[in-house]
Amino acid sequence: MQDLPLNIPEGSRKEVMTYLEPFMLNEMNEYLKPVEEMWQPADFLPDASRDTFFEEIRDLQDSAQELPYDLVAVLIGDTITEEALPTYESWLTMVDDVQKNEQGGWMKWVRAWTAEENRHGDLLNKYLYLSGRVDMKQFEISTQYLIKDGFDIGTGADPYRNFIYTSFQEIATNISHRRVAGMAKKSGDKLLAKMCGVIAADEARHAKAYMSFIAQAIKVDANEVLLAFEDMMRKKIVMPAHFLRESGEPQGEAFAHFSDAAQRLEVYTALDYIDILKTLNADWAIDKISALNEKGEKARDYLMKLPDRLTRLADRIKVPEIQYKFKWIYG
Ligand SMILES: [Fe+2]
Ligand SMILES: [Fe+2]
């Protein structure tokens, strides 16, 4: 974890987090669902105790056979990203200025959030296994590597940078799972479409939660939140799986190919990145925050102008047209 580049007045984050944690406890039920009401992977997967089990698997494999190659690649990248949940949970528990006990709002949130997220990798992993299109050993090697490699996302242990990053990422995963759902449906894989659809809905709820934490922090510490937001956007938000690799290949290389495939399919593009920034700017109404100091004003200016600047640059991004052959996928 790197040092924070800003001069944060000592103790101020701690005061804000002391104010935020009861808010998190109160708001949790708004953004999380009771376990008993939740969908589980078993709701969507063939049940091995049923007489129709093998028939259901044949149907699943027939539809999976029709999925475009790039879409399978993106689905695998998305799944490995979900499977690296231990990285995210351990990172969240390292956040500074929160209570480090199980009764605190932050720890309760982290555990409940992790429990919801854990279903995503669980469901997709089982689907990929049953689909017959995936070399599971290669997939598992990449997963083990990614968890072992961790990530370097530039937040340090700062709670503001952390909530800004998670707000951004939850929206990004919502977009990506939602688009994969749409494409799976088009290709005739209704089951996969349903799975990705319910996962996308979870991501949307989680995004709202993290966005509400930042909205709340803005109320009491607007300058510092804007400086943290500016800093994250200057560094650029990197994806949590940016170290993704295949067996025998350099760290991060599979991520580059996965990201190319996502852009070719328009599952997640540079324009989506800009749209997320616009969503955050609008949701946090940063144009309406008053009484900022000079640094805060400058940060706001930067953030307000950034979408247009990035839009001009986005035209120049060239995505390779040729599909990369992943070790993960048969055929
Ligand atoms: Fe997820
Ligand atoms: Fe998520």
Question: How far apart are the CA of 84 and the centre of ligand 1, in A?
Answer: 10
Amino acid identity of 58?
R
- Between the CA of 274 and the centroid of ligand 2 the distance, in Å, is 19
Among the bound ligands, the one closest to the CA of 121:
1
pLDDT-derived band at 12 (thresholds 50, 70, 90) equals confident
Evaluate if residue 1 carries a pLDDT over 60: no
Residue 5 predicted with pLDDT over 60:
no
What is the reported pLDDT for 305? 98
Note the pLDDT of residue 8. 43
Model pLDDT, residue 22: 92
Q: Which amino acid is at 144?
A: Q
CA of 298 to the centre of ligand 1 (A): 34
Q: Which of 83-92, 98-107, 190-199, 250-259 has the lowest mean pLDDT?
A: 98-107
Tell me, what's the pLDDT at 9? 56
Ligand 1 center from residue 96 Cα (angstroms): 23
Q: If DSSP states are collapsed to H, E and C, what string results for the chain?
A: CCCCCCCCCCCHHHHHHHHHHHHHHHHHHHHCCCHHHCCCHHHCCCCCCCCCHHHHHHHHHHHHHCCCHHHHHHHHHHHHHHHCHHHHHHHHHCCCCCCCCCCCHHHHHHHHHHHHHHHHHHHHHHHHHHHCCECHHHHHHHHHHHHHHCCCCCCCCCHHHHHHHHHHHHHHHHHHHHHHHHHHHHCCCHHHHHHHHHHHHHHHHHHHHHHHHHHHHHHHHHHHHHHHHHHHHHHCCCCCCCCCCCCCCCCCHHHHHHHHHHHHHCCCCHHHHHHHHHHHHHHCCHHHCCCCCHHHHHHHHHHHHHHHHHHHHHCCCCCCCCCCCCCCECC
Task: Region of 116 please: left (phi>0), alpha (psi -120 to 50) or beta.
Answer: alpha
Residues at Cβ < 5 Å from ligand 2 ion: 170, 173, 203, 206
pLDDT number for residue 11: 47
- Give 117 Cα–ligand 2 centroid separation in angstroms: 6
Provide the pLDDT for residue 316.
Answer: 87
**Nearest listed ligand to the Cα of residue 195:** 1
Catalytic machinery residues: 39, 82, 117, 120, 170, 173, 202-203, 206
State pLDDT tens for residues 234-259.
999 999 999 999 999 999 999 999 99
Per CATH, the number for 12-28+57-314 is 1.10.620.20
Strand partners, 134: 329
45 CA to centre of ligand 1 in angstroms: 18
Given a cut of 70, is residue 269 above it in pLDDT? yes
Over the chain, what is the mean pLDDT?
A: 94
CA of 331 from ligand 1 middle (Å) equals 28
Per-residue confidence band for 75, with pLDDT thresholds at 50, 70 and 90? very high
Q: Which ligand places an atom closest to the C-alpha of 199?
A: 1
State the ligand closest to the CA atom of 205. 2
The predicted structure's pLDDT at residue 315: 84
